[in-house]
């Protein structure tokens, strides 16, 4: 029996664990810290470990004590904190970008400057490490602009500002009030691109890569694509506009120049690279990079994969992705609706401010797993065995079906059975497009 350690605690991490055990009957996944609510005899959580510990030593010790064959780091915080470097230094086989390569996500300034140096198309920008010159710049150039914190806030900390006043308010929230933490110490202000957003996911092993299916993500918090940008309220897959021509354009215009720049900078990238692009005319512009798989995109992309994922990971480590057979995919549709922690009478809820925790979750036993699968995010198990909320994106209800409409119906049929104080979710995932 082979063993894998997945370092994560989100719906994405659960989707990784599920992908391993579903496609490989001979693997055990140690999921750290994971979620004890996951009921699978080959997924073992370790809730005593802290994903946000800047010191990777406890997680490394855990991996060594288990004697795992492979470590996969899926969460942006341990990637930014150099967990991959520490696992490698301990002699463990690990998939994920090291600290240097993880800067592609952990610093937007680093990535924008890389694009500028190597001629990779991106929106015109400037960055600032003090609020006064940032405000002065916005008043000078006018709106619309996009204001982003430099350090990754896991999908938050991005403001699309249609007026100068909105941009000034965003700068003050990021740099003065520090609503999004230390990531607001430096901000990027860039031109707003007008076009169609396209998301691409690539499994990378140095110079080699394999494209994963595209997905449609819903980054706005409210129905009708209103509200602030957040870490994603839902997603669906397959993408209705994924064609060989679309993928080929991404390879030529974005992926291969980007990987060449990464190699030229001496970085060795392994793992999933998520490129968020804007198509303007027939040209792709890079919006940002995530140095890991997206959440909630993982929850709809991974269920389509039927290839042995343990073998795929072995090909990544052994630099033989170029000899790997094409990924086997199901033709089914998958729709993720995120059940998030909204206002509970005390806290404004995610993504608007502080989040209430400890609210009991009801209704999971009523789900039909053949129609709707649950992936656990910000949830934990109490000493008495009760499942309670413990974060912003609490659960992901993923409907499956032979058509998009059927998958939508199954996702909303499932989430209608779930309840906890302050539950909030979008009601239009899959029914409108995020670019509409």
**CATH number, domain at 181?**
3.30.1490.20
Say if 106 falls within a structural domain. Answer: no
Domain identity same for 263 and 360: no
**Domain end call among 269, 292, 323:** 323
Say if 400 falls within a structural domain. Answer: yes
Q: Please provide residue 293's backbone torsions phi and psi, each rounded to the nearest 5 degrees.
A: -75, 150
Say if 117 falls within a structural domain. Answer: no
Domain identity same for 137 and 243: no
The predicted model scores a pTM of 0.95
Domain identity same for 178 and 205: no
Domain identity same for 45 and 150: no
The domain spanning residue 372 has which CATH number? 3.90.600.10
Say if 151 falls within a structural domain. Answer: yes
**Calpha distance 162→330 (Å, rounded):** 41
Task: Provide the b/e sequence for 262-296 (b: ≥16 CB within 10 Å).
Answer: beeeebebbbbbbbbbbbeeeebbbbbbbbbbbbb
Instruction: For residue 359, give the nearest of 392, 404, 310, 321 by alpha carbon.
Output: 392
Say if 340 falls within a structural domain. Answer: yes
**Domain end call among 323, 355, 383:** 323
Both structure tokens of 67: 């004697």
Say if 161 falls within a structural domain. Answer: yes
Both structure tokens of 168: 């000034």
Instruction: For residue 3, give the nearest of 71, 75, 59 by alpha carbon.
Output: 71
The domain spanning residue 253 has which CATH number? 3.30.470.20
Domain identity same for 314 and 201: yes
Q: Give pLDDT tens digits along the chain (436 positions).
A: 899 999 999 999 999 999 999 999 999 999 999 999 999 999 999 999 999 999 999 999 999 999 999 999 999 999 999 999 999 999 999 999 999 999 999 999 999 999 999 999 999 999 999 999 999 999 999 999 999 999 876 557 889 999 999 999 999 999 998 888 887 889 999 999 999 999 999 999 999 999 999 999 999 999 999 998 887 999 999 999 999 999 999 999 999 999 999 999 999 899 999 999 999 999 999 999 999 999 999 999 999 999 999 999 999 999 999 999 999 999 999 999 999 999 999 999 999 989 999 999 999 999 999 999 999 999 999 989 999 999 999 999 999 999 999 999 999 999 999 999 999 999 999 999 998 7
Instruction: For residue 329, give the nearest of 303, 310, 311 by alpha carbon.
Output: 303
Domain identity same for 64 and 143: no
Question: What domain range is 173 assigned to?
Answer: 124-191
**Calpha distance 262→207 (Å, rounded):** 10
Both structure tokens of 30: 């140690």
pLDDT of amino acid 181? 80
**Number of structural domains found in the chain:** 4
pLDDT of amino acid 153? 64
Say if 164 falls within a structural domain. Answer: yes
Domain identity same for 208 and 289: yes
Domain identity same for 319 and 339: no
**Domain end call among 96, 113, 139:** 96
Domain identity same for 299 and 203: yes
Locate all alpha helices (DSSP H) within 289-362, ordered by sequence.
298-301, 309-317
Domain identity same for 185 and 217: no
**Calpha distance 254→245 (Å, rounded):** 14
Domain identity same for 287 and 211: yes
> Who's near 122: CB < 8 A, 6+ residues apart?
112, 115, 116, 190, 285, 286, 287
**Calpha distance 202→143 (Å, rounded):** 33
Domain identity same for 179 and 200: no
The domain spanning residue 33 has which CATH number? 3.40.50.20
Say if 359 falls within a structural domain. Answer: yes
Residues in the chain: 436
pLDDT of amino acid 154? 55
């Amino acid at each position: 029996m082979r063993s894998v350690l997945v370092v994560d605690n989100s719906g994405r991490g659960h989707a990784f664990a599920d992908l391993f055990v579903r496609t490989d009957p001979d693997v055990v996944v140690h999921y750290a810290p994971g979620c004890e609510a996951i009921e699978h005899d080959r997924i073992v959580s370790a809730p005593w470990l802290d994903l946000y510990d800047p010191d990777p030593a406890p997680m490394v010790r855990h991996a060594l004590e288990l004697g795992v064959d492979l470590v996969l780091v899926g969460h942006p915080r341990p990637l930014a904190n150099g967990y991959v470097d520490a696992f490698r230094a301990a002699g463990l086989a690990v998939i994920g970008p090291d600290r240097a390569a993880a800067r592609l996500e952990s610093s937007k300034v680093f990535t924008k400057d890389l694009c500028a140096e190597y001629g990779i198309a991106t929106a015109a920008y400037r960055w600032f490490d003090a609020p006064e010159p940032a405000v002065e710049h916005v008043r000078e150039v006018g709106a619309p602009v996009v204001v982003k914190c430099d350090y990754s806030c896991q999908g938050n900390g991005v403001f699309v500002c249609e007026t100068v006043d909105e941009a000034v308010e965003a700068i003050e929230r990021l740099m003065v009030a520090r609503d999004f933490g230390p990531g607001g110490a430096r901000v990027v202000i860039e031109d707003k691109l007008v076009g169609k957003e396209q998301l691409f996911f690539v499994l990378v092993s140095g110079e080699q890569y394999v494209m994963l299916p595209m997905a449609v993500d819903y980054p706005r918090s409210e129905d009708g694509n209103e509200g602030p940008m957040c870490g994603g309220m839902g997603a669906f897959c397959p993408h209705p506009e994924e064609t060989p021509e679309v993928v080929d354009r991404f390879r030529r215009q974005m992926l291969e120049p980007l990987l060449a720049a990464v190699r030229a900078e001496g970085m060795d990238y392994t793992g999933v690279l998520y490129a968020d692009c804007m198509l303007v005319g027939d040209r792709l512009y890079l919006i940002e990079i995530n140095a890991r798989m997206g959440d909630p995109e993982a929850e709809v992309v991974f269920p389509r994969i039927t290839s042995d994922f343990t073998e795929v990971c072995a090909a990544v480590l052994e630099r033989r992705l170029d000899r790997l057979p094409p990924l086997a995919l199901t033709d089914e549709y998958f729709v993720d609706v995120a059940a998030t922690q909204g206002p509970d009478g005390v806290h404004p809820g995610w993504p608007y401010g502080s989040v209430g925790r400890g609210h009991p979750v009801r209704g999971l036993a009523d789900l039909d797993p053949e129609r709707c699968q649950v992936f656990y995010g910000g949830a934990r198990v109490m000493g008495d065995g009760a499942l309670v909320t413990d974060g912003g994106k609490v659960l992901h209800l993923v409907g499956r079906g032979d058509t998009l409409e059927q998958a939508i119906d199954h996702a909303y049929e499932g989430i209608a059975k779930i309840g906890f104080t302050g539950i909030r979710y979008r009601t239009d995932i899959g029914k409108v497009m995020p670019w509409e």
